[in-house]
Chains A and B, each alone.
Chain A
Amino acid sequence: MIPKSIKWRLQLWYGLILVVVLAGFGGTAYQLERNRQFRRIDDELHKRIGIIGNALHGPPPRGQRFNPPPRDDFPDDGPPGRNRRPLRPGDFHLPEQDEHFFDASDPNQFYFRITGRDGVELASSTNQPNKLTEPDSQVSYSQSSHHPNQFAPIFPAPEQSQTKTKPQPAVNFGDYRENIEILPSGEMIWVGCSIAPELKELRRAKLSLLGIGGLILIFGLLGGWWLVSRSLRPISEISSTAVKISAGDLSQRINTVEAESELGQLATVLNSTFARLETAFAQQKQFASDAAHELRTPVSVILTQTQTSLARERDAASYKQTVEACQRAAQRMRKLIESLLALARFDAGQEILKRSPFDFSRTVSDCAELVQPLADERGVKISIEAKPIEIIGDSERLAQVVTNLLTNAIQYNQPDGEVRVKLETQNGLAVLMVADTGAGIAPENLSRVFGRFFRADQARTGSGNAGLGLAICKAIVEAHGGTIEVASAENVGTTFSVRLPAEA
């Protein structure tokens, strides 16, 4: 079962790879060491076989290392070492100068044995291990060999026996290693030695390889754990920050010390996302708080009016006054709620606009007619200069924009001021300009006029104008793919320009 944690999974794979690599290297090193040891032994064995062979029937044609045995021991003519009479037990004696090759003091305890064609032992060194003298040693020899074809040279075919055979590969019997040479005459030379020291050394090498490998594995795993933990630490930091943020603390940021790593970059991206979220949340919170604030005053009116009214018996006129005041407050709240809902729908993109072609200039003149009573009341003159322009859009919503702009222009005008309305086409756009001759808007407030709950006079809460009108205008115009702008000069007037795509 694979653990779910990335840390553990990385560690598992890392450890697995480390084990495989270490096993490969260790195994190879051990094998090389073993081969080196055995090759040295084999060289020694071959050398001694050669010595025995030479002692039997003279030196090889080349190589003058050994003195040949007396020729008259082998009176036959013909090449040396061939076609001599078979040896009998006791015939062979190791030349004195070669005795040191089978010295008992040698740690390897080299020994030899010569057997005849029939397997009878003809000669042997004194130190040969007893068990190898058993007649069935050949069987154990062949059985212990894992290569059945090694059986063949032990009983060589007649034609092969005519030439000197190649040295047989050496074979291990327990603590001994032996090499055999079968002479053409059928005699076999066994040369062996104890390999106990080598095996001991190999065991030691194996143990130290295992030890070193184990140490490397432990250090590797520890290092890997450290590295993995270190590189995954930003993740835990990211997640703990995310937990705090989801718990509501939007001001939390991930500490990005390692900005250049992949996780550092991720943290930077997340931080900027968190910052945007925080801003959006703050705006939303401000909006909600402003909306609640706007509702407080009308609710206060209703509460104080009704509580005063209910405190004692009143006459009908007094009750009527109370009810009227409550109605005004309720209507103010209704207007506010409608505005808030409209804005919420535009924000969510849920406001469905009825798009149909209509003459925008008609809308403008209708709206002007609608606000005329208000203008008369304030003594404001409205002048309109509009050419018929066909546009596609929601005529009711756009009428709302025009009415709102006109109402503002009248309300924030000076007495006996003027509102100039102009509708024209510019570069395929319908451009509506509404200019007043009011006090103008302070430059620092110009960028905020389309903001929610912005009022030129922050305190005019009693006017019933929550400061959402221009925000709604902007939402409507932008939903039509248009733009709305404001330009103002203090004590000269303010001009709002609405640009809408016109029907060509």
Chain B
Amino acid sequence: MRILIVEDEPDLLASLAQALREEGYAVDTADNGDDGLFNAEGTDYAAIVLDVMLPGMDGWEVLKRLRKTKKTPVLMLTARDQTRDRVKGLDTGADDYVVKPFDLEEVFARLRSIIRRSANKSTNVIALGDVKVDTAARLVSLKDKPVELTAREFSLVEFLALHRGEVVTRTQLYEHLFDENDTTMSNLLDVHVSNVRKKLGAEFIATRRGHGYCIE
């Protein structure tokens, strides 16, 4: 899962990015509206965390322009908790908002929620035959027995599970699993897929040669 954070306060940006990376997301950052919009338009993020008050183009403007081309779920960070600000945000096309100061747990939960909703799933638990993926607890179980996965492996399973039945290209997987700071080595993805197959069964992830991967 790759996420973009647009926030101008450097300390806040750094800690948010770190926290989300530790949650298993691939995180890109931008510290102003123009860069944020550029990134958001160029990449298919799972979600965008967008501050309202930004130098240059503000959060509302970024959201308005982004909505012309993309439906990426957006979580707004706002310092104003007045109803009109929230209404404005939701009307402009924000999927949710968090009022500063916030708890990280809340940001995580709301991010999961908007990502789930954008994939048309209403619960945190996705059942794939014998395998169950709990996106909130970040746990995977096989025949009701928990299976240990690394954060990257979990992200891979989660992304494929959210796009169940679809063929996910390698490029898409790269974009969602690795952020701009990672050196994308193409065989790293194969390593992760192979590890997941070892843990959850060889049939769990099907390979569509020349297209990508798929969970039936």
Report which A residues bind B (CB closer than 8 A): 289, 293, 296-297, 299-305, 307-309, 311-312, 322, 325, 328-329, 457-462
Q: Which residue of chain B has the shortest Cβ distance to A294 in the bound complex?
A: B79
Residue total for B at the interface (Cβ-Cβ under 8 A): 27
Contact A459 B15 (CB under 8 A): no
Contact B79 A307 (CB under 8 A): no
Interface residue stretch chosen among B3-11, B115-123, B168-176, B199-207: B3-11
Interface string of B83-104 (1 = CB under 8 A from A): 0000000000000000111111
Contact A459 B58 (CB under 8 A): yes
CB neighbours of B18 from chain A (8 A)? 308
| A–B pairs, 27, beta carbons within 8 Å | A293-B79, A296-B79, A296-B101, A297-B9, A297-B12, A297-B79, A299-B100, A300-B77, A302-B101, A304-B12, A304-B15, A304-B16, A304-B104, A305-B11, A308-B16, A308-B22, A311-B19, A311-B104, A312-B22, A325-B11, A459-B54, A459-B56, A461-B8, A461-B53, A462-B8, A462-B10, A462-B55
Contact B104 A462 (CB under 8 A): no
Contacts A301-B12, A325-B15 aside, 6 further interface pairs with beta carbons under 8 A come to A293-B79, A300-B9, A301-B15, A308-B18, A458-B53, A459-B56
Interface check B65, CB cutoff 8 A: no
CB neighbours of A302 from chain B (8 A)? 101
A494 to B198, CA, bound (A): 69
Rounded to whole Å, the gap between the CB of A117 and the closest CB of chain B is 117
Interface check B208, CB cutoff 8 A: no
Interface check B14, CB cutoff 8 A: yes
Q: Which residue of chain B has the shortest Cβ distance to A325 in the bound complex?
A: B11
Contact A297 B15 (CB under 8 A): no
A299 to B9, CA, bound (A): 12
CB neighbours of B54 from chain A (8 A)? 459
Contact A459 B55 (CB under 8 A): yes
CB neighbours of B197 from chain A (8 A)? none
A303 to B99, CA, bound (A): 13
A328 to B12, CA, bound (A): 11
Contact B101 A459 (CB under 8 A): no
A303 to B54, CA, bound (A): 20
CB neighbours of B58 from chain A (8 A)? 458-459
CB neighbours of A297 from chain B (8 A)? 9, 12, 79, 100
Q: Which residue of chain A has the shortest Cβ distance to B107 in the bound complex?
A: A304
Contact of B9 among A307, A309, A311, A462 (CB under 8 A): A462
Interface string of B50-79 (1 = CB under 8 A from A): 000111101000000000000000000101
Interface check B211, CB cutoff 8 A: no
CB neighbours of A304 from chain B (8 A)? 12, 15-16, 19, 102, 104
Contact of A461 among B9, B101, B102, B103 (CB under 8 A): B9
Rounded to whole Å, the gap between the CB of A195 and the closest CB of chain B is 92
Interface string of B7-39 (1 = CB under 8 A from A): 011111011101100100000000000000000
Q: Which residue of chain A has the shortest Cβ distance to B52 in the bound complex?
A: A459
Contact A308 B15 (CB under 8 A): yes
CB neighbours of A305 from chain B (8 A)? 11, 15
A460 to B100, CA, bound (A): 16
Known: A296-B79, A297-B9, A303-B103. A460 touches B55 (CB 8 A): yes
Contact B79 A301 (CB under 8 A): no
Q: Which residue of chain A has the shortest Cβ distance to B98 in the bound complex?
A: A300
Contact B55 A457 (CB under 8 A): yes
CB neighbours of A300 from chain B (8 A)? 9, 12, 77, 100-102
Contact B104 A307 (CB under 8 A): yes
Contact A325 B8 (CB under 8 A): no
- What are the 6 tightest A-B residue pairs by CB atom distance, in nearest-first order? A299-B101, A325-B11, A296-B100, A300-B101, A308-B19, A304-B15
Contact A459 B11 (CB under 8 A): no
A302 to B14, CA, bound (A): 12
CB neighbours of A307 from chain B (8 A)? 19, 103-105
Known: A293-B80, A297-B79, A308-B22. A303 touches B104 (CB 8 A): yes
Q: Which of B112-167 contact A (CB under 8 A)?
A: none
Contact B55 A329 (CB under 8 A): no
Q: Which residue of chain A has the shortest Cβ distance to B99 in the bound complex?
A: A296
Contact A329 B11 (CB under 8 A): yes
Contact A308 B104 (CB under 8 A): yes
Rounded to whole Å, the gap between the CB of B40 and the closest CB of chain A is 18
A462 to B100, CA, bound (A): 14
Q: Which residue of chain B has the shortest Cβ distance to A299 in the bound complex?
A: B101
Q: Which residue of chain B has the shortest Cβ distance to A306 in the bound complex?
A: B15
A439 to B189, CA, bound (A): 50
Q: Which residue of chain A has the shortest Cβ distance to B14 in the bound complex?
A: A325
A311 to B103, CA, bound (A): 12
CB neighbours of A296 from chain B (8 A)? 79, 99-101
Rounded to whole Å, the gap between the CB of B45 and the closest CB of chain A is 20
Known: A297-B100, A462-B8. A311 touches B15 (CB 8 A): no
CB neighbours of A462 from chain B (8 A)? 8-10, 55
CB neighbours of A328 from chain B (8 A)? 11
